[in-house]
Amino acid sequence: MSRDYYILNNGRISRKDNTIYFCDCEGNKRALPVEQVDSLQIYSEVDLNTKMINYISRYDIILNFYNYYGYYTGSFYPRKKNVSGFLNVAQAAFYLDYGERLYIAKSFIYSATHHILRNMRYYKVEQELIDLILMESYNLESAEDIQTVMGIEGRIRKTYYRSFNQILKNGYTFNKREKRPPKDPVNALISFGNSIMYTNVLKEIYKTQLDPTISFLHEPSTKRFSLSLDIAEIFKPLIIDPIIFSLINNKRLTKKDFMYEDEICYLSEEGKKKFLSEFENKMTTTIKHRKLNRKVSYRYFIRLECYKLIKHFIGDEKYKVLKAWW
């Protein structure tokens, strides 16, 4: 089974014969079995050559690049093979049909809200905060435009973030969401985790015939794969937030795992390793799927969401968004 490989040390990736190698700055060399590599997640300064890139393209290996602070900057994707003009036209038609677009956009927020409430109930936060989110979710049903849906989503998430101070332990507090830049450990963890979620969703979209630039909740734009942002709404509270709560509350992350520079807070190399290890454990965890009647990993749940959208676009089956039942 192919898997993601994370590179956090500076060095060079190159091809020799039918193998690719990573060699760090101290001369330590590691073979990366090309047939078992799904993607390379590069968090450090790494040299590449075209010989290696041409070779990994034959195996559909994706390169995702992250900046000094660990936030996503871009990707190398091999030439897309799963293409369908028919599906592209159908996907665009559902975007242009405002009623259809609104249904899909609402579906993403219904799922996100379900998983948010799941977290809040698990950690037994105040019922008052849960009731506020339930009230907003009721308003979602009558929303008649995307702007209203986005407004409801924003208020739900703001209320959800208020509950973090009831969830987090060991001296961690959370006052407000700050993205650019994150200024405290909790914001740093949210930004780091959401960045990973975005690239993993994009990777699963790439393996299907969906067009990642045609989205429904987030406005399609130039220079971004906005469908990834849409689908990530489902999985951020399901995957990323529980990882953050677990790492903090179980003291697997300490204050030493965070660094500060020019008012920017970010994870140290050791902190990134801890988060990425927990993320991989989560993504490979399997759940018995009620409809497929077999075990499915969290990673594959993302792919299944893509397939459900495809079926919706081609008129095969109405889209029913994921709501975790386990």
Q: Which residues are annotated as a binding site for Mn(2+)?
A: 153, 218, 233
Burial class (CB in 10 A: 0-12, 13-18, 19+), 182: buried
* Residue 220 DSSP one-character state: P
- Give the separation between CA 256 and CA 275, rounded to whole angstroms: 14
Phi/psi class of residue 107: alpha, beta or left (left: φ > 0; alpha: ψ in -120 to 50)? alpha
Q: Which residue positions form the known binding site? A: 153, 218, 233
Q: How far does Cα 124 stand from its chain's mean position?
A: 25
Burial 230-243 (b: 16+ CB within 10 A, else e): bbbbbbbbbbbbbb
Burial of 48 (0-12, 13-18, 19+ CB in 10 A): middle
The pairing of beta strand 19-24 with beta strand 11-16: antiparallel
Best CA proximity match to 91, nearest among 216, 6, 239, 271: 216
List the end-to-end C-alpha distance of the chain, in Å, as a whole number: 25
